[in-house]
Amino acid sequence: DSGVTQTPKHLITATGQRVTLRCSPRSGDLSVYWYQQSLDQGLQFLIQYYNGEERAKGNILERFSAQQFPDLHSELNLSSLELGDSALYFCASSVGLDNEQFFGPGTRLTVL
Amino acid sequence: DAKTTQPNSMESNEEEPVHLPCNHSTISGTDYIHWYRQLPSQGPEYVIHGLTSNVNNRMASLAIAEDRKSSTLILHRATLRDAAVYYCITYSGNTGKLIFGQGTTLQVKP
């Protein structure tokens, strides 16, 4: 158990819908990262927050957005969902900006 | 972040050492080398990282070439639980983003 929690574990929805994935980092960790893992693209970095501020952006679509709240939990919002958005979404956290990252168990999103 | 090249797959026998190679010929002088692994149906898990010197921890050892263009992750005695995809990542530290390649799928045979 990494100490990072993600909810929900599984999510099934339809194309065009909007969903919110939630992540609670390990106690004391200020950085939160979001990654997407699909069969054809592998593990891809989406976005990072550090102490509430956006720190780095990767291959995140404009339909996706994220935020980190004052209590340091983070949410990833996915809108106008397409079939290709079906994937595992991982959240990770770390103490600072360049420490080892601890990954949560992931949320499996299925878009039908 | 420099590109890394790893073999797609490797096999090992249980209780034997495993050497997982990684090439990162375009690594810059300040990039760290990180290794993560992903067991089936789990999120990635940190294994080890280093900059220039060889590193040891309870999970593995990391041997870094003198020119830093390659490194080797060493599992001293493979167990069935070590069967996973191993990712070698070069990491600038300016941002926290890890750029994962395809990794090496390690099979451990009893």
**pLDDT number for residue B7:** 96
- pLDDT tens digits for range A33-89: 999 999 888 889 999 999 999 998 998 999 999 999 999 999 999 999 999 999 999
pLDDT above 70 covers what percent of chain B?
95
How many CB atoms are closer than 10 A to CB A46? 21
The position carrying tokens 């979001």 is A34
**pLDDT number for residue B92:** 72
Rounded CA-CA distance B110/B104 in Å is 19
Q: How far is A84 from chain B (nearest CA, A)?
A: 19
pLDDT band at A9 (very low <50, low <70, confident <90, very high): very high
- Residue A105 touches partner B, C-beta closer than 8 Å: yes
Q: Report how far apart, in Å, the C-alpha atoms of B27 and of each of A87, B76, B97 are.
A: 30, 26, 16
Cβ-defined contact of B96 to A44 (cutoff 8 Å): no
**pLDDT number for residue A96:** 85
**pLDDT number for residue B94:** 65
Cβ-defined contact of A97 to B43 (cutoff 8 Å): no
Q: Report how far apart, in Å, the C-alpha atoms of B41 and of each of A78, B80, B108 are.
A: 23, 15, 17
- pLDDT tens digits for range B54-101: 999 999 999 999 999 999 999 999 999 999 999 999 887 666 678 888
- pLDDT tens digits for range A10-40: 999 999 999 999 999 999 999 999 999 998 8
Which residues of chain B have a CB within 8 Å of the CB of A104? 43
Output DSSP code: residue A85: G
Cβ-defined contact of B96 to A50 (cutoff 8 Å): yes
Helix (H) or strand (E) holding B32: strand B32-38
